[in-house]
Structure 1
Amino acid sequence: MSAEATNPATPGPVAPATTRRRSLPRIDLRRLGRAALLGSPARGRLPDAIGHVVEAHRAHHPDADLEPLRRAYVLAESSHRGQMRKSGEPYITHPLAVTLILAELGAETTTLTASLLHDTVEDTDVTLEQVREQFGEEVRYLVDGVTKLEKVDYGAAAEPETFRKMLVATGSDVRVMSIKLADRLHNMRTLGVMRPEKQERIAKITRDFLIPLAERLGVQALKTELEDLVFAILRPEEYEHTRELIVDNASRADDPLAEFADAMRAVLREAGIQAEVLIRPRHFVSVHRVSRKRGELRGCDFGRLLVLVNEDADCYAVLGELHTCMTPVVSEFKDFIAVPKFNLYQSLHTAVARADGQVAEVLIRTHQMHKVAEAGVVALGNPYAGPQEEQTREGAPADGDRLDGERVDPTRPGWLSRLLAWQEAAPDTDTFWSTLREDLAQDREITVFRPDGGTLGLPDGATCVDAAYAQYGEDAHACIGARVNGRLATLSTVLRDGDTVQLLMGQDPASEPSREWLEHAHTPAARIAIQRWLATHPAPAEPEETVDPARTVTDIPATDTPLSRPDTAITVAGRPDAGVRLAGCCTPVPADEVTGFAVRGGMVTVHRVECAAVARMTDAGRAAVDVSWGDTTECRVTLVAESFGRPHLLADLTEAMALEGAEIVSATVEPPSQQRVRHTYTIQLPDAGHLPTLMRAMRNVPGVYDVSRAQHHASAS
């Protein structure tokens, strides 16, 4: 079954009551169980067991039709009757608890109806068709979205494929994930009955997948409690230490946050601003993070002050008064009202200090902003209601309050659209599962602007390569460069929030991505698209060079061996007289970690250890030879520069190389192709350690978008 319960003899780690939110109270599972065992009520009368669900629901939706809830409870209770949780309670207590969590967050009736039924199709004889007939297509869709796939059909892939199914369903209706998050929260609250290894496995899945999804959907009330529960299971010693810090702070006689709150109330009262000032304790994980950042904690570090007002303008009025009448910490100011976060969050952040050094962090927001900050997409009510219905819903944004950027359509945020796009291209379950974990780990997003006025939402650390695939999909294979804020930039350029990016596209439909792009791709969409192209277009293998044993390393022309120097530069272990040559496929230079392989004629070819040819020869059973660098630091190396065509580029590039002390041994410039020019230079440097500086200088030449060491693909033959 999908839910577990706590055995009272072996309670699981749960955050103390001081950290729980009043909006998510624990329910008396035994009382619910007794109510369920009394049987179904008379037709038309609300069951006692859902009385507290109804009470919470009416607090947010006073005019809600409760009949669907009554019928959903009757069906859920009758279908789960006889099923028990591991703690001994009737199974119906689980869907009731999940539904209460959603009701407290303000979910509308359809979500609560589906929540009551969310395990019926998975664990009982109820079918999706029956759910559709009795409750309609919306409820059927939500129940189907959270129903697990059978292990008998999918084996080890059942869990990741269930997540894929839920994410796809969430793409059409975000309420699917709302139900899943509430379901996981109740299961995490009651996880103590499970074996420790299973607790750990479930906690890790929650940490890697559910908590990031709660963050992205803005459901902070669920996210913070899930974080604390996971923290208690996976890091029990640090959890216990943090608990002791919180308990010790609560026992202190003085409370600087309370003193700050009183002072703020006085300031705002004198200014005639109607506001509510609350002390908002930090949850366990937040206290732990602050303690690691600041060391010894002071009283104000255990919480923040929350100021709630009625209108947006009041937020700025409060900010002005606090900064005028108290001592502001200017570096702590952030305006998430003018520039909301991607997950619906809006608030002003600031901090004020007093003479003794205590600093209080302050959050300023309207009551509606606070509701959305806590409940995220759940606070939207029915996000799929028509315009007329939406306008009549209490608390709904008016037409003039439309959200912008990634918030234009809160039912399909930008990050979710991108996730759904790349998951379709994921070639197998393992790739999907590992890539999803990486994607969700990118917890900060940036917005970059396109010249046409559009925007792209990308994870922090994204490059121009990522922007190209985000905008053009697989057509980005034809990208030949970019302008960032009006200046030519390499495709490896890391973008910053607010940058304007113009992607330069070639016209040749047969254009192909560079293999080096994988090094600069951070988004799953870019990586998967490039990898898929590379898998279907393998590079032709080139036979490894053979060398006449009568020739020494210094006899080999630069065109054959990009890197050469006196024999004494490389020492072969146990073979001091062996002839040595440096492989042209990876162009090793002093300080590179190298290995060698014997070739025909008694020569030893030296490769960088990360060279692809090394892996192929090792797999083929070729024995490696120990080699090491001698005292010589002089090197000869071949560099490849990629650039856009422009007048005087060759002169500027060679001048930059000469200024860095490089002697150009040979140079080749290929004819321009689709506005791109490829330059190949074999250069001599007196010190290999200067190579990175030389390559940076070449990249800084206007029009040059990439410089790399020569890479040829050699076979293992």
Structure 2
Amino acid sequence: MSAGATNPTPPVRRRGRPRIDLRRIGRAALLGPTPRDRLPDAIDHVAKVHRAHHPGADLDPLRRAYVLAESSHRGQMRKSGEPYITHPLAVTLILAELGAETTTLTASLLHDTVEDTDVTLDQVRREFGEEVGYLVDGVTKLEKVDYGAAAEPETFRKMLVATGNDVRVMSIKLADRLHNMRTLGVMRPEKQARIAKVTRDVLIPLAERLGVQALKTELEDLVFAILHPEDYESTRGLLLDHTSRPEPLESIAADMRSVLREAGIAAEVEVRPRHLVSLHRARLKRGELGAAGFGRILVLVNEDADCYAVLGELHTCFTPVISEFKDFIAVPKFNLYQSLHTAVASREGGEVAEVLIRTHQMHLVAEAGVVALGNPYAPTVEDADVGEAPDGERADPTRPGWLSRLLAWQQDATDADTFWISLRDDLAQDREIAVFRADGGTIGIPAGASCVDAAYALYGEDAHGCIGARVNGRLATLATVLGDGDTLQLLMAPDALTRGAAASAAHSGPSPDWLEYARTPAARIAITRWLAAHPDLPQPADDSDHPAELQGAPAEPSPHTAGHPAPPAAVAELPDAAVRLAGCCTPVPPDAVTGFEVRGGAVTVHRTQCAAVARMQVAGRRPVGVRWRGRGEGSPGGCRVTLYAEAFGRPQLLADLTEAIALEGAAVVAASVEPPREQRVRHTYTLQLPDAARLPALMRAMLKVPGVYDVSRAQQPAMT
């Protein structure tokens, strides 16, 4: 498609996804009102689709909603030339195909009436009830989302709030956007591009997170056609060429049907073609695709246990690709998605086929996400008042955890731009992981998040008092990136949780370095706000490269050793800059040192031979001159240092080493012991010395401990 084209070539349609006949709907819509004893012709198809999902549904609200929408929109035309009523009809049909319940469909038919006609919100509430009125009001508040880039951040903030209170609002908005994207060709190219970018950056990630894959995949292909026309046409041509030949996956699927039939497992096996964006991504990742790479095989069964039975048969009768196995049934994705993923080689030819195994219910949720969950506020036998929180805000019991977190941190965003950037960063996270708490329960965080992110997800602003962590039972730095299924124990400063973050701030608080490995908006916003509110407090030393405080260490750390360096032992050439000693190389007087400015205006001091110095210089970071403060300038001479003790493993070694350290007057700030290798072990200690001049004597004392054969200063890779 050329840059000036206004109507992109329509995407290759997926099987089983009928298009809406706008011309037929338009003609039916012009026929006007219909007698009350039957449905209008224009909505008849919507009703049939709806009844296929909900056989006992009351269709009278749909009939009345259509009559009101048609009469109020009468005379209005779309830019494409059809009567305007074809738009709410098309949006409603999209939702009906996904299995939306009657209330959502009723609100969908009326979603533009309050915004674009004389119909009032009070009229909608009187005629259709509070539920429909609430949804129409929510969608109405989102209608200006596409107008004016300056208004986008604040408008999307409102959109998020409306979505969080009832996810059906966003379901209608997504269907509305899909139909508008289908008919976007009548608009100017520059407006097509602007709408496509907003769709790509926010609405598609929201569709992914709400689990509405059927909408997400078609939106992706439509955006692909507008923003990347050359890649789109190339990929489309490749797919058309493939579909003109026999599908190799069909023979593999037939073989699988035979295997499962012989095993007595009732299952449906079908080939699912990749949509265009998925195909394009696969090409970028793997190069040219084999004949079996244009789709996946989907196996549908009745019960959860049948999924694992299918997996066992396929792995027994075909050669499995073990690295491709993922169990999203035991650990569902953050957007409700459940399936078993695997890949097997065919018994003839060896083509590798990707396989998805799920129940029929899992498949419904995988395609429709939250739309398939029905009305989250419908009264139950146990509780007829579900849907109202104590403060009057609607409480959705099915609201995904990620959405609850977004609602929490959006309230703390200081301005619209901060919110906008944070929202896009959060939505860019393509999946979520589950981390198990050592004291029970789980924490849901984005993939790639660190211990710092987990601390703020769990404790909110009380996480300012976090001083370390154990991951899978071992001491770890707060910068440690967590993996799916990890077990996490967060170590907090004394009274951090009982007295609150404000009380703990007197002796503990986040370092600017935390921003280097905080990935979630909640963590970054909280850290930034705390640093801005405490510009004059000494910041914690950079402990990103040594473990947390060892519980049970013999020396009780003072406020300085619990996270703050001694009063400024070094002076930077930047006026009024706070100075911190780097934890990666733990410089002490009289080491040759240099500094680098970090976020927040502070200067981190490194030994000149530290590996981090070379990396930052290669990256173009300008060094800052620093010097050690002389005795006559008020320095107490205290310092913090990290030492390695290499030893032969033996009982009581840890106790003997910590005793030698204590006798030299040093306080243990942190310690760790690596697993023995060939009967050798390494201890790492971060120590606070009252005087840097005592360091050589301390190292000699540690070296005299039986079994210790080397003591050295830390010089390990550091985050830059």
TM-score normalised to structure 1 length = 0.74
Match of 1:449 among 436, 442, 450: 436
Q: Does 1:499 align with 2:478?
A: no
Match of 2:456 among 457, 469, 473: 469
Q: Which residue of 1 aligns with 2:56?
A: 63
Q: Which residue of 2 aligns with 1:518?
A: 515
Matching residue's letter, 1:698: A
- Does the 8 Å CA contact 1:642/1:679 hold for their aligned counterparts? no
SS at match of 1:504: strand
Q: Which residue of 1 aligns with 2:422?
A: 435
Distance 1:668 1:377, change over 3 A: closer
Cα shift at 1:388 = 3.8
Q: Which residue of 2 aligns with 1:458?
A: 445
Q: Distance in 2 between matches of 1:331 and 1:344?
A: 23
Provide Cα deviations, 1:25-47, integer angstroms capped at 9, x if missing partner.
Answer: 22121222222222122234311
Q: Does 1:536 align with 2:523?
A: no
- Does the 8 Å CA contact 1:481/1:504 hold for their aligned counterparts? yes
Match of 2:8 among 7, 12, 24: 12
Q: Does 1:286 align with 2:299?
A: no
Q: Which residue of 1 aligns with 2:127?
A: 134
Match of 2:714 among 658, 677, 698: 698
Distance 1:291 1:522, change over 3 A: same
Q: Which residue of 2 aligns with 1:342?
A: 334
Cα shift at 1:655 = 13
Does 190-199 or 382-391 show the bigger shift?
382-391
Cα shift at 1:245 = 1.0
Q: Which residue of 2 aligns with 1:687?
A: none
Q: Which residue of 2 aligns with 1:421?
A: 408
Match of 1:332 among 319, 324, 348: 324
Cα shift at 1:328 = 2.3
Match of 1:479 among 466, 469, 492: 466
SS at match of 2:714: helix
Does 311-320 or 79-88 show the bigger shift?
311-320
- Does the 8 Å CA contact 1:12/1:193 hold for their aligned counterparts? no
Q: What does residue range 8-87 of structure 1 map to in structure 2 within 5 Å? A: 10-17=6-13, 20-23=14-17, 25-87=18-80
Provide Cα deviations, 1:257-314, integer angstroms capped at 9, x if missing partner.
Answer: 1111221122222222222111111111111122222222222111111111222222
Q: Which runs of 5+ in 1 are unaligned?
A: 1-8, 392-407, 548-557, 566-582, 596-606, 614-637, 657-666, 672-677, 683-695, 701-705, 710-717
- Does the 8 Å CA contact 2:434/2:445 hold for their aligned counterparts? yes
Matching residue's letter, 2:398: T
Q: Distance in 2 between matches of 1:679 and 1:293?
A: 56
Q: Distance in 2 between matches of 1:584 and 1:40?
A: 71
Distance 1:35 1:528, change over 3 A: same
Matching residue's letter, 2:476: A
Q: Distance in 2 between matches of 1:305 and 1:503?
A: 42
Q: What does residue range 347-426 of structure 1 map to in structure 2 within 5 Å? A: 347-354=339-346, 355-388=348-381, 411-426=398-413
Matching residue's letter, 1:319: L
Match of 2:524 among 522, 527, 536: 527
Q: Distance in 2 between matches of 1:31 and 1:679?
A: 90
- Does the 8 Å CA contact 1:150/1:158 hold for their aligned counterparts? no
Aligned residues: 587
Q: Does 1:266 align with 2:270?
A: no
Distance 1:564 1:55, change over 3 A: closer
SS at match of 1:192: helix
Cα shift at 1:151 = 6.5
Q: Does 1:609 align with 2:622?
A: yes
Distance 1:652 1:135, change over 3 A: closer
- Does the 8 Å CA contact 1:640/1:681 hold for their aligned counterparts? no
Cα shift at 1:424 = 0.4
Matching residue's letter, 1:609: R
Provide Cα deviations, 1:321-374, integer angstroms capped at 9, x if missing partner.
Answer: 222222222222222222222211111222221342311111122211111111
Q: Distance in 2 between matches of 1:470 and 1:546?
A: 35
Q: Distance in 2 between matches of 1:219 and 1:546?
A: 53
- Does the 8 Å CA contact 1:669/1:680 hold for their aligned counterparts? yes
Provide Cα deviations, 1:92-144, integer angstroms capped at 9, x if missing partner.
Answer: 11111000000000000000011111111222222222221211111111112
Q: What does residue range 233-252 of structure 1 map to in structure 2 within 5 Å? A: 233-252=226-245
SS at match of 2:184: coil
Q: Which residue of 2 aligns with 1:190?
A: 183
Q: Distance in 1 between matches of 2:329 and 2:623?
A: 49
Matching residue's letter, 1:145: G
Q: Distance in 1 between matches of 2:588 and 2:274?
A: 65
Q: Distance in 2 between matches of 1:679 and 1:37?
A: 93
Percent same amino acid at aligned positions? 71
Matching residue's letter, 1:147: T
Provide Cα deviations, 1:632-679, integer angstroms capped at 9, x if missing partner.
Answer: xxxxxx996599x976385999999xxxxxxxxxx96369xxxxxx99
Distance 1:206 1:156, change over 3 A: closer
Q: Distance in 1 between matches of 2:85 and 2:694?
A: 71
Q: What does residue range 159-238 of structure 1 map to in structure 2 within 5 Å? A: 159-238=152-231
Distance 1:641 1:436, change over 3 A: farther
Q: Which residue of 1 aligns with 2:391?
A: none
- Does the 8 Å CA contact 1:50/1:96 hold for their aligned counterparts? yes
Provide Cα deviations, 1:2-42, integer angstroms capped at 9, x if missing partner.
Answer: xxxxxxx953342023xx3524x221212222222221222
SS at match of 2:411: helix
Q: Which residue of 2 aligns with 1:669?
A: 689
RMSD between aligned alpha carbons?
A: 4.0
Distance 1:240 1:533, change over 3 A: same
Q: Distance in 1 between matches of 2:177 and 2:398?
A: 21
- Does the 8 Å CA contact 1:306/1:363 hold for their aligned counterparts? yes
Distance 1:646 1:188, change over 3 A: farther
Distance 1:563 1:229, change over 3 A: same
Distance 1:151 1:141, change over 3 A: closer
- Does the 8 Å CA contact 2:588/2:639 hold for their aligned counterparts? no
Does 419-428 or 80-89 show the bigger shift?
80-89
Distance 1:651 1:135, change over 3 A: closer
Cα shift at 1:496 = 1.3
Q: Distance in 2 between matches of 1:48 and 1:211?
A: 33
Q: Does 1:113 align with 2:110?
A: no
Q: Distance in 2 between matches of 1:435 and 1:584?
A: 24
Distance 1:591 1:295, change over 3 A: closer
Matching residue's letter, 2:405: R
Q: Which runs of 5+ in 2 are unaligned?
A: 385-394, 497-502, 539-567, 576-586, 595-600, 627-637, 644-656, 673-686, 697-711
Matching residue's letter, 1:16: V
Q: Distance in 2 between matches of 1:654 and 1:423?
A: 36
Matching residue's letter, 1:425: D
